[in-house]
Amino acid sequence: MSDNSFVFSQKPITIESGAGVYLTSDDGTDYLDFGASYACTPTGHCHPDVVEAVQEQAAELLFVQGSYPVSAREELHAKLGALAPGDLEKVWLCNSGTEANEAALKFARSATGGTKIVAAKRAFHGRTAGALSATWKPKYKTPFEPLLEDVEFVAYGDEVELADAVDDDTAAVILEPIQGEGGVHPAPDGYLEAAREITEETETALVFDEIQTGLGRTGETWACEHEGVVPDILTAAKGVASGLPMGATLCADWIAESAGPHGSTFSGNPLVCAAAGATLEVLAEEDLAANAAAVGDYLREELAASDLPIREIRGQGLMLGLEVKRGANRVLRDLALEHQILALPAGRSVVRLLPPLVLKESHVDELLEALTEMLAPTADSQS
C-alpha cells in the first residue's frame, strides 16, 4: 500500500462501501456518518438516482472539452442558474472549492479593476495560492509565503472594522455566512447585510463562500437566504456532485461581463455534471433543505435539553459545532471506535456535525445516546 501520510493522517478504519447515512468498513462494521466527509454527500452515500446518472453518463460520454456544449453540462447550468440567489445566473464550473474561490477572486479583480481583498479572521477558503491568501490560519500559509499581497483580515462580525478596511481599490470582500473550518461561527444578525451595503458603496464585489453552507445544509438552499442578502459572487463545491469533484462560481452579470480570461481543462466535464444534475434533483425532490432545518432543530433542542458538558452549540440546520470541554479529538475517537459514529473536528475544542441531509431523528437519537454514555456527568470521569 502506498503511504500518503505525508499529506493525510490516516484513520484506523478502512471504508469499503456506503449507503444513505452509513459507511461500512472492510470488516463489515456499519458507521453512522455525521461528518459526510466534510459535507460532501448531502444526498447520502450512493444515492440510487446519483449512481444511475453517473453510470448512464459514463456509458455515453466520459469527457469532451468545455467548448463543445453537452447536454449534461447545459442542463446543470440551467439548474444552478435557477437555484442561484437573486440574479447570480452566470455559472463557472471547476473541480474543487479552492478553484471556485480562485475564480471568484480573479473575476472580482478583473471586473472591479481593484486589487485589495478583504477577508475575515478564522476564514477558510482553500489551499491554492489565491484562496490560501484569504485563509486565516498561519499554519496553512507560513511555509508557502509569500502569497498574494494586499489581503487584509478583519474580525468576523465587526461591521466597523469591515467598513474601515474596504476602500475604492478593494476588489472583493470574501466571507463565509457561517465559518466552518474556523469553528462553526455564524455571522451575527445584520452582518451580511452590512457587508452588502459597504461593498455597494465602493463597488466592491461581495463574495459569499457557501462551499460548506450551501445546497440546503443550513435549512435554506443558500445560507445567505436566511438574511435575504444576495452577493455578487457565490461559490459552491463540496456536496454539489454528491462527492465527485466539482466547484461552481455563480456570478452576477456585471461580474461575468468583465470576468477576464479564465479556464480549466476539466471544467464542466460531463460525468461530474451528470452527478451534480442528479444531486440537485434529489435535493429538490426530497426537500432536503427542509429536512435539514427540521432534523437540525431537533438535534439542537435535544442537545440543549441534555445535561451533557457542552459549553456552546453553534450553527444552523445540519451544520452544527459543539464546544466540548474534553478535547474534540478524544470525543471523536471514542465516538468512532466505541459507538461507530463518525464526525469531524473544527479546531481543538469543537466537534463539527455535517451529516448527509437525509438524516432522520432516529439517527440523532443514536448520537445522543452515544454522547450521553461517553460524556454525561454520571459516567466514569476517569475513562
Nearest approach in angstroms of CB 101 to ligand PLP is: 6
Nearer to ligand PLP, 39 or 335 (CB): 39
Residue closest to ligand PLP when measured from CB atoms: 97
Q: How far apart are CA 54 and CA 273, in angstroms?
A: 9
Q: Is 11 a catalytic residue?
A: no
Contact at 8 Å (CB) between 208 and 123?
no
Angle, to 10 degrees, between the axis of helix 328-339 and the axis of helix 361-375?
Answer: 110
CA 341 to mean position of chain CA atoms: 21
Indicate the Cα dihedral angle 225, 190, 352, 49, nearest 10°. Answer: 0
Cβ neighbours of 297 (radius 10 Å): 14
Nearest approach in angstroms of CB 71 to ligand PLP is: 26
Q: Is 124 a catalytic residue?
A: yes
Residues of this chain that interact with ligand PLP (CB under 6 A) are: 38, 96-98, 101, 124-126, 176, 180-181, 209, 211-212, 237-238
Q: How far apart are CA 150 and CA 157, in angstroms?
A: 21
Q: Which residues pair with 120 in a beta bridge?
A: 154
Nearest approach in angstroms of CB 365 to ligand PLP is: 28
Q: What are phi and psi of 173, to 5 degrees?
A: -110, 120
Q: Which residues pair with 152 in a beta bridge?
A: 118
Nearest approach in angstroms of CB 211 to ligand PLP is: 4
The one catalytic residue in 79, 90, 116, 238 is: 238
Which grid cell sits at 344? 469531524
The one catalytic residue in 33, 106, 208, 209 is: 209
Q: How far is CA 335 from CA 15, 231, 368, in A?
A: 16, 38, 11
Nearer to ligand PLP, 76 or 370 (CB): 76
Q: What angle is formed at CA 195 by the lines to CA 136 and CA 98, rounded to 5 degrees?
A: 40
Nearest approach in angstroms of CB 176 to ligand PLP is: 5
Nearest approach in angstroms of CB 210 to ligand PLP is: 8
Contact at 8 Å (CB) between 72 and 267?
no
Residue 115, by phi and psi: left (phi above 0), alpha (psi -120 to 50) or beta? alpha
Nearer to ligand PLP, 104 or 371 (CB): 104
The one catalytic residue in 34, 124, 208, 232 is: 124
Nearer to ligand PLP, 114 or 243 (CB): 243
Nearer to ligand PLP, 96 or 279 (CB): 96
Q: Is 168 a catalytic residue?
A: no
Nearer to ligand PLP, 33 or 181 (CB): 181
Question: What is the Rg, in whole angstroms, of the alpha carbon atoms belonging to the chain?
Answer: 21
Residues carrying an active site annotation:
124, 209, 238
